[in-house]
Amino acid sequence: MSEKIQIDIISDVVCPWCVIGYGNLTKAIDELGLKDKVEIQWQPFELNPNMPLEGEELSAHSARKYGSTPESSNQFRKEMTAHGQAVNFDFNYFEGMKIVNTRDAHILLEYAKTQGKQTALQQRLFTAFFTEKKDISDRKVLTEEINEVGLSVEEAMARLEDSNALQQVIEQELYWQKLGVSSVPTVVFNRKTALAGAQPIETFKKILAEELASL
């Protein structure tokens, strides 16, 4: 059996709850002293696979997709900001903020996985989008973030032109959807125990302890 707990995080880089879920998971790992006992991989999930390249203004998107009112949208942003502070993450919502297409980001995350830098890039993309007000569907921005985490810009950009790399992401998304994943974040432990949503630290600690005992 593996000597590490395998953790798959099915996620989208424009999902605020994915930021919170990962923050709680890492706190649970740290509190149990399991940093060297876990292996994390991020798996692709597009909340809006048909999002046009120009994106959609966040308030309009929330109203169209979730029926949010301006009041409920503002309340959600306040709540997310507070949740973010609890995991040392700065949500910097602003007027005119857009939800964007994330397919290129997922292709690059798959490339980063092969170089051992996937979590670093995932974190950079979360920060770029939610904190730094960047359009992470813009390839110029993606180039900057790839460079920031020490990856080859040339190799990464070549992946975006590679139809096989695109197909790999599509197939992985379908794989998890066929297993019943319909929302993010979903965290899967050793490909057998799944938790949907941004679970609290204590819930993650309980599952981690159980998985550790079975190693």
Residue 16, preceding peptide bond in cis (omega within 30° of 0): no
Instruction: Please state, in angstroms and as integers, the Cα–Cα distance from residue 186 to each residue in 55, 194, 212, following that order.
Output: 24, 7, 19
Q: What is the full per-residue pLDDT of the chain (215 aa) written as tens digits?
A: 468 999 999 999 999 999 999 999 999 999 999 999 999 999 999 999 999 989 999 999 999 999 999 999 999 999 999 999 999 999 999 999 999 999 999 999 999 999 999 999 999 999 999 999 999 999 999 999 999 999 999 999 999 999 999 999 999 999 999 999 999 999 999 999 999 999 999 999 999 999 999 88
- Assess contact for 121 and 107: CB atoms under 8 A: no
CATH at residue 172: 3.40.30.10
CB of 136 closer than 8 Å to CB of 100: yes
Q: How is residue 183 annotated by DSSP?
A: S
Q: Whole-angstrom Cα distance, residue 11 to residue 139?
A: 20
Tally of domains in the chain? 1
Question: What residues make up the domain containing 78?
Answer: 5-213
Using CA atoms, how far residue 139 sits from 45, 96, 101, 109, 158, in Å, is 19, 20, 11, 14, 12
